Structure 1
Amino acid sequence: MSRNALIVGINPYHHLTSLKAPATDAEAIAQRLEQDGDFKVTRLPERIQPGDVNQPVMAETQTITQTQLEQALKQLFLPKSTQLPETALFYFSGHGIADEEGFYKGYLATSDTHPDRPRSGLSLRWLQWLLSESPIPQQIIWLDCCHSGSIIVDVGAANPGNSASRDRCFIASSRDFERSWEDLNSPYSTLTKALLDGLDPTKSPGRWVNTADLVAHVHQALTGELQTPVCTNFGEAINLTRSWQVPVERAEGAIATDICPYKGLEFFDCNDEDPKYFFGREQLVSQLLDHVRTRPFLALVGASGNGKSSVLRAGLLHQLKLGRRIAGSDQWRICLTRPDRQPMKNLALAFVEEGLSDLDRAEALGKAEGLLGEGSAGLQRLVQASSAPGVILVIDQFEEVFTRCQNPAEREQFFACLMGAVADTTDKLCVVIAMRADFVGKMPGAHEYSGLAQQVQTHMVSVLPLKPEELEAAICKPAEQVNLSVEPALVTEILNDIDGAPGSLPLLQYTLKALWQQRQGNTLQLATYQALGGISGTLDKRATKVYESFDPDQQRTVQHVFQQLTQLGEGTEDTRRRVFLDNLIAEPLHPADRVKTVIETLTDPDNRLLVTSEVVGKGQAAERRAIVDVAHEALIRHWRLLRQWIEQNRDLLRQQRRIEASAVTWQEREKAKGYLLQGLPLIEAMQFQKRRADTFPLSDAAKAFIQKSRQQRNWDRLKTASWLIIPALVLIPVVEHSLRQSRIEANLDRITEQEGTIAERRALQELVAGCAEQRSMNWLPTYITERLFGNCHPLWEAPLENANLSNADLSYADLITADLSGASLMNTDLSYVELSGANLSSVDLSDADLSDANLIAADLRYAFLSNTDLSDADLGAANLSEAIFFGLDLQAAQHLSVDQLQGENPPYLCNASLPTDIQIDKDRDCDQLPQVFVDRGWFNNLEEAKALVEELRQKTWD
């Protein structure tokens, strides 16, 4: 058997950021294939390691050109020899570049690749062509670089060529639009580490690790990672590595103290080792085998923590692979997959026909997608094309179709394919789904989703909690396999603790593993179990004890961190959530130093409640970022204090997540204005930012996102209603008054019909009348002002001229184009208020809060602003003629221009802080103000006016 491998790891780049991991990645893969896979390896670039034997190794500092890589690939897949190798494997670690046009499928960057000329890299389209031309029967491609999923972005690309006899394995580290990362908690990149672990033959001594095993391992190992691998196999599994030593049989009665027969918080998998220790589900596995033998559909349903994945993998699939319980099942093709975000794409990639030319392949792909959209006929044809006598399609974590797939049309198409095939099935196909029980009741009825709910109800097998005798077997029989004994009193105590506690299997396994770690000789003891706190207390007590060791400020940060690391279920159970470390910092409430201290304590080996790592983007910028995750998902379900925090704050956390997610989407879409917030979502985000700043602070990115959304809305409104900037003198006063009164009545009717009560209608009528009579608003009930102003009911038509609104809370009110001329707004909260085009002439705004207010094209002539907060207020095109700016900080005001401050009839400036790009004397008009006060009739004599100016100057200076 001849097996060749080309292993490429490129560190140095001329026009892209140089990398550190690729050469190390490549050398580790090369050594694994040479030592355990009987591969003849060619390294690129290569150098000779001096020593007794001249050993080639990866060259860390040498460069590789596009031409060199193409020639090496041709030599691998199109060898000029009559004696062809059986297997050809290509591994690449380095930079990857996306293809903006989509034709070339992306590029592998060589040392001479220029980012502005991506075609100077090696086209994945060219690599697909090369595979289609290659006569080698077994072809393997592993790509650890950004955007590498482009090579299998469609089915035709995944399996090129015109020979049905070829077997292929594709593993790409990320989807076509994603970056890949170097994990700085490991010497290897994220995908390569998973490959090396999956290729380790010592974990399965005496048998081959094949491409099917490796793909399954990579999927499991990278679940929840920052990048999503794209993997697929075609044809038969290809052998990769194995242990060449025959395992030594253990002598009778020997103590296997080095083998733990319990899985902790992991599931029992379908491999050569785990099923040896999987006990307690024999009756259920027999039931599943009988179901699969006679029926085309099986829904394995169970609560979270009842062991569905273990039953499916170490139970059902293990028995099918053995072929002892169902004759010939060892010859079946088992397709184990998860829906993820694109269930239809994953299904299509698994069932496309092989052996077509480029044109025929494109046509077949279109037909396949069309047939899958129709359901049974198309999928049945694809199943019949398989050379295996039977196909079992296994979809684990089926609930991801609801939780991760955001495309309703693709979801419906996916269900139509599966359910249609089940309805029209032959004996060749069996569909098995495994899903959480809490999603069964959420599925629509028979008409929607192609009858999925009806099929699940008809063919459902429940994974129920283990019976006492089954629990005893799960505890004792694995121990027997490694010659451990379990005290009978310990078994009795555990059974009593678990009785009536559904979903406790992960904690049982976790506790048993802890007992094994603290075993006395070859015995698991009751005293150790009691010291650990038993089943329910093992994690809970440990986590609470660590939490109580922090001071009060640190405890608040611990709560903040764990809340952010919890993925909130939508009517389902909560799960873990990986977060970048810098996204946990929220100044000033959770400063960087405190977050760092808390995380260091929580990740300490003595605590181990959190785990941290660091990833490095393999893109051009080579961005390094630290990530944080909970050590065990069981913490989220069983730490009572955390459950209390989540339940108390669930709604607020959801709102915070929605804002942050929208901000991330905006950034990912290159800050396109179409992804900014508008309407009610924007108003709610602004209110959340203001009111929850001390408890649920937003990230800097989310704050910038909200600010940009506000600015865009303001300018959109200004452009839409530009006629409002026309001087009011153009309008006919009688018509204006008539329109205003009719609109007031229309607003009152709308508020009453849509949201208000009769009492609120009367309150609003009183408010309008009270404003007109210059009465204060403090006589209104608080809930009325919050409803009318906090929820942004439009009041622009209300007659607010000369109204006394001092000390009122008008935050978030919609007062666009309102007439507030002559009104008193002293100490009024006008933050986030819409005042574009409003008439604020001669208004008293001293000590008012106008932060984040929209004052575009507002009329502020003769207004008095003393110690007024204008931070982030938008003053674009506002008329500031002869307004008085006394003691103002204008440095953070938006769109303030020099012309507004020094044109004809400019505002009076006294003790003002101006933007750095506006060079005007901040005390330009202090000496003129006493006379201005007298001219405006505010004082009878100049001496009193001077005294007030001096008093104000002293106040603002202080």
Structure 2
Amino acid sequence: MEHTGTSGLSGPNCRAVVVGTGHHQAGASLSSLPSARRSAVDIAATLHTACGMEQGNVELLTDPENPTEVLAAVERAIAGASDGGVVFFYFVGHGLLGPGDLLYLATSASSVPDSTVHAVPYAEIKNQLSEAAARSVVILDCCFSGLAEAASPAQRSDPYASARPAGSFLLSSASHYAVSFAPKGQTHTLFSGELLRVLTEGEPGGPVRFTLNDLYRHLDHRFQNSAVRPHADSAGRMGDLTLAPNPRYTPAPAFLPPPPEDDGTHCPYPGMRPFLPEESHLFFGRRQLTQVLVDRVTDAQAVGPVVLVGPSGAGKSSLLRAGLAAADSVGPVLLVPAPGPKPFQELVSRWSEAVGRPFAEVADALGTGNFPASADGRRAPRVLVVDQLEEIFTQCEDAEERDLFIRAVATASRPGPRVVLGLRADYYGHCLRDSRLSRLVLAGQFTVPPLTDEELGEAITGPAAQAGLLLEDGLLDILLHELRLEQGGMGHTTALPFLAHVLRATWAGRWGRRLTVSGYHATGGIRGSVAQTAHTLLDSLDPAERPALRALVLRLVRVVDSEGKAVRRRVRTGDLIAASTDDGQRDTALLGRLVEARLVVVDGGWAQLCHDSLLYAWPALRAWIDVNLEAMLAHRGLAEAADTWDASGRLPSGLYRGSHLAAVRSRIEDAEDVLELRGVEADFLAASRSAQWRGT
């Protein structure tokens, strides 16, 4: 969904506490800081005028008399910020070094630097924020503030897909034991004054809107080689939270010199992975379709699941995440990125985490189409999104698992979530062969068509403008022309993933703030950029590393038929990495290289090729699959049999025997340099050989 112009702090469930301690009692050895009080007053005002916070949601404390006053204000803010909201805490004044080198925040009753009796322990604030359901932002303008750490994420993580980045963020004016500065006679402290200037006056050449990360990068650059040394610490993606518009944003001029080697600019194009909910401000070209989908999903009169159907690469996953899940009107959205080999267990696990009920209880309920409500007052999902529905056919070999999953989503009863499913169009026929899925698809189909030329233009230029970038004259026309040429011969896939990849590669070769025609051609073009990226990676490896990379990548591929049709496979990173220390270090490094090249994405301990299109656009990968097709088919069956044997207690009845064992062993051994067996697979083969030798 296109950027709406709102701040991440403008919601009704956001609260702020701004504390400024500038005055101390007569006779105190702590110097008065008039600029601290003035800074706090102006920060509180700016949170309203620039960041969009409601005035009643900002509590200002000037010269608090004791720690209780501050801690009580934080408690009130936490109580007012519901789950999914933000608590913003700002302190400016003296920072004190207490026992154990811990940070304390001075109150007006604090009198000497080495006494923390009347000061606020920062650890208490951190603990309060860590236990809160809301996300947190802490900004400290005081000496020793670099000793502080960001609040730890809440003990129960937020399971919902949301445009609001999760986690916590800390920004401080000083690194570790460094002091902070409040010049005499100045209205503001150095740090708060510059922060205020950026938020109220803007930054020429900056982004359209400032995030917390943008703010830190600006302050860090501004105070290079000065006494003030900003420091940032974060958990999760909270640094992506949008704070305020940049009042001095202007489009890039036609010519600028090239940037320094690392100019701190973030790429607005995600490559072949989907746009995430928190990247909704970069998701262009689908505004109308997003609104139609949101209206369909939130229609109170509608019944049954909505089924998004579109070709591979049409942008279904981005539409579900950065479109539907990011829409404020939809409510809590629980996203299941993919059903995987155990779709019912995956659904039960996700719902159990979301509502706080035991796995077994949720499994019993979902088996009858009932989605249990939340157990402890937390938000229950209003919308359940299951992406890549085709995996119940391509990844799941357990008929009972598939049946339970279909029963759960097909018979979901109200009250319960609105179910939204994402399906690749080439698996439409598979759904029609199941009576329950057939009814769902025919009644709830929502077609995702290819982008028009106008929408493609928005998808290209919108993120660039958001990041303050300019396309060289002619580049947009070249991109659209080559997209049309590619689209004509790509069968069931579309060229959109290749566009996403080439835009990111073109950004990497930008000239200043311009994306150039020469930079685009250097990538290899729409189709060639993926192959060129992969080829460059292979060429950079030592000869001994290339077989290891091949084996690692092939573990991320699942062959679904004897004709060689392949799909991506999600694999736990631990299962990808070799067991031996030396080989494990090698594989970890290789996986990192694949992630850095945007060929593989790792999330939550799982690794996956970034898009199905890689299976066609990476010539070497296609060749590896063709050469090793029989071994991969045998390995697929072995992996499933070994997992089933292990899950059932490793009973002899589940082992391979006779000619079946001999055939599998032959094919696996012929491909030992390509296929690396997991521990459970090696155990399964060893147990099968032993059982056959003993005749059991």
Q: With structure 2 as the length reference, what TM-score do the two structures score?
A: 0.55
Give unpaired runs (5+ residues) of structure 2: 1-14, 18-77, 79-85, 91-97, 107-123, 134-152, 172-206, 213-235, 254-262
RMSD: 5.6
Q: Match for residue 269 of structure 2?
A: 262
Contact 2:166 2:237 (C-alpha < 8 Å) held by counterparts = no
Q: Match for residue 438 of structure 1?
A: 426
- CA positional deviation for 1:585: 9.2
> Residues of 2 paired with 1:634 and 1:50: CA distance?
53
One-letter code aligned to 2:624: W
Q: Match for residue 168 of structure 2?
A: 199
Partner SS, residue 262 of structure 1: coil
Q: Identity rate of aligned residues, in percent?
A: 25
- CA positional deviation for 1:655: 0.8
Q: Match for residue 317 of structure 2?
A: 309
> Residues of 2 paired with 1:712 and 1:299: CA distance?
47
State whether structure 2 residue 530 is matched by structure 1 residue 522: no
Contact 1:334 1:394 (C-alpha < 8 Å) held by counterparts = yes
Counterparts of residues 758-773 of structure 1 (less than 5 Å): none
Contact 1:564 1:584 (C-alpha < 8 Å) held by counterparts = no
- CA positional deviation for 1:395: 2.5
Report the CA distance shift for 1:600/1:2 in structure 2 as closer, same or farther (over 3 A). closer
Residue deviations 1:779-811, cap 9 Å, x none? xxxxxxxxxxxxxxxxxxxxxxxxxxxxxxxxx
- CA positional deviation for 1:475: 0.8
Q: Match for residue 454 of structure 1?
A: 439
Contact 2:336 2:386 (C-alpha < 8 Å) held by counterparts = yes
Partner SS, residue 325 of structure 2: helix
Contact 2:550 2:674 (C-alpha < 8 Å) held by counterparts = no
One-letter code aligned to 2:568: D
Partner SS, residue 306 of structure 1: coil
- CA positional deviation for 1:526: 0.7
Structure 1 stretch displaced more, 397-406 or 637-646? 397-406
State whether structure 2 residue 344 is matched by structure 1 residue 343: yes
State whether structure 2 residue 306 is matched by structure 1 residue 298: yes
Residue deviations 1:407-461, cap 9 Å, x none? 5334323333432347xx68x85322122223322225353xxx22222133212
Q: Match for residue 411 of structure 2?
A: 420
One-letter code aligned to 1:307: G
> Residues of 1 paired with 2:666 and 2:241: CA distance?
66
> Residues of 2 paired with 1:701 and 1:371: CA distance?
32
Q: With structure 1 as the length reference, what TM-score do the two structures score?
A: 0.42
Contact 1:2 1:87 (C-alpha < 8 Å) held by counterparts = no
Q: Match for residue 482 of structure 1?
A: 467
Q: Match for residue 812 of structure 1?
A: none
Counterparts of residues 592-603 of structure 1 (less than 5 Å): none
Q: 2:290 aligns with which of 274, 285, 302?
A: 285
Question: Size of the alignment, in residue pairs?
Answer: 484
> Residues of 1 paired with 2:16 and 2:285: CA distance?
44
> Residues of 2 paired with 1:559 and 1:596: CA distance?
16
Q: Match for residue 503 of structure 1?
A: 494
> Residues of 1 paired with 2:354 and 2:505: CA distance?
49
Contact 1:564 1:579 (C-alpha < 8 Å) held by counterparts = no
> Residues of 2 paired with 1:531 and 1:475: CA distance?
18
> Residues of 2 paired with 1:421 and 1:628: CA distance?
30
> Residues of 2 paired with 1:333 and 1:602: CA distance?
33
Report the CA distance shift for 1:490/1:442 in structure 2 as closer, same or farther (over 3 A). same
Report the CA distance shift for 1:601/1:557 in structure 2 as closer, same or farther (over 3 A). closer
> Residues of 1 paired with 2:510 and 2:625: CA distance?
36
- CA positional deviation for 1:495: 1.2
> Residues of 2 paired with 1:421 and 1:575: CA distance?
28
> Residues of 2 paired with 1:632 and 1:411: CA distance?
24
Q: Match for residue 860 of structure 1?
A: none
Contact 2:531 2:617 (C-alpha < 8 Å) held by counterparts = yes
Partner SS, residue 301 of structure 1: strand
Q: Match for residue 471 of structure 1?
A: 456
Contact 2:166 2:238 (C-alpha < 8 Å) held by counterparts = no
Q: 1:251 aligns with which of 229, 248, 252?
A: 248
Contact 1:37 1:241 (C-alpha < 8 Å) held by counterparts = no
> Residues of 2 paired with 1:402 and 1:54: CA distance?
58
Partner SS, residue 277 of structure 1: coil
Report the CA distance shift for 1:503/1:585 in structure 2 as closer, same or farther (over 3 A). farther
Residue deviations 1:177-230, cap 9 Å, x none? xxxxxxxxxxxxxxxxxx9974348999789xxxxxxxxxxxxxxxxxxxxxxx
Structure 1 stretch displaced more, 464-473 or 555-564? 555-564
> Residues of 2 paired with 1:2 and 1:607: CA distance?
37
> Residues of 1 paired with 2:575 and 2:384: CA distance?
39
> Residues of 1 paired with 2:549 and 2:378: CA distance?
55
Residue deviations 1:56-85, cap 9 Å, x none? xxxxxxxxxxxxxxxxxxxx9xxxxxxxx9
State whether structure 2 residue 504 is matched by structure 1 residue 513: yes
- CA positional deviation for 1:634: 5.7
- CA positional deviation for 1:298: 1.2
Q: Match for residue 533 of structure 2?
A: 542
- CA positional deviation for 1:498: 1.5
Q: 1:574 aligns with which of 568, 571, 578?
A: 568
> Residues of 2 paired with 1:312 and 1:581: CA distance?
29
> Residues of 1 paired with 2:237 and 2:579: CA distance?
45
> Residues of 2 paired with 1:452 and 1:197: CA distance?
34
> Residues of 2 paired with 1:267 and 1:441: CA distance?
25
> Residues of 2 paired with 1:352 and 1:600: CA distance?
32
Q: Match for residue 83 of structure 2?
A: none
Q: 1:408 aligns with which of 384, 399, 406?
A: 399
Contact 2:630 2:667 (C-alpha < 8 Å) held by counterparts = no
- CA positional deviation for 1:474: 0.8
- CA positional deviation for 1:641: 2.0
One-letter code aligned to 2:290: V
Partner SS, residue 309 of structure 2: strand
Q: Match for residue 394 of structure 1?
A: 385
Report the CA distance shift for 1:284/1:658 in structure 2 as closer, same or farther (over 3 A). same
One-letter code aligned to 1:498: L
Q: Match for residue 857 of structure 1?
A: none
Contact 2:474 2:517 (C-alpha < 8 Å) held by counterparts = yes
One-letter code aligned to 2:453: P
Q: Which has the higher contact order (CA 8 A, sep 6+)?
A: 2
> Residues of 2 paired with 1:307 and 1:561: CA distance?
27
Report the CA distance shift for 1:673/1:2 in structure 2 as closer, same or farther (over 3 A). farther
Partner SS, residue 281 of structure 2: helix
- CA positional deviation for 1:333: 4.4
Contact 2:309 2:425 (C-alpha < 8 Å) held by counterparts = yes
Counterparts of residues 542-621 of structure 1 (less than 5 Å): 542-547=533-538, 559-569=550-560, 573-575=567-569, 577=571, 608=597
Partner SS, residue 295 of structure 1: coil
Report the CA distance shift for 1:523/1:437 in structure 2 as closer, same or farther (over 3 A). same
One-letter code aligned to 2:533: R
Higher alpha-carbon Rg = 1
- CA positional deviation for 1:299: 0.6
Q: Match for residue 682 of structure 1?
A: 661
Contact 2:313 2:496 (C-alpha < 8 Å) held by counterparts = yes
One-letter code aligned to 1:396: D
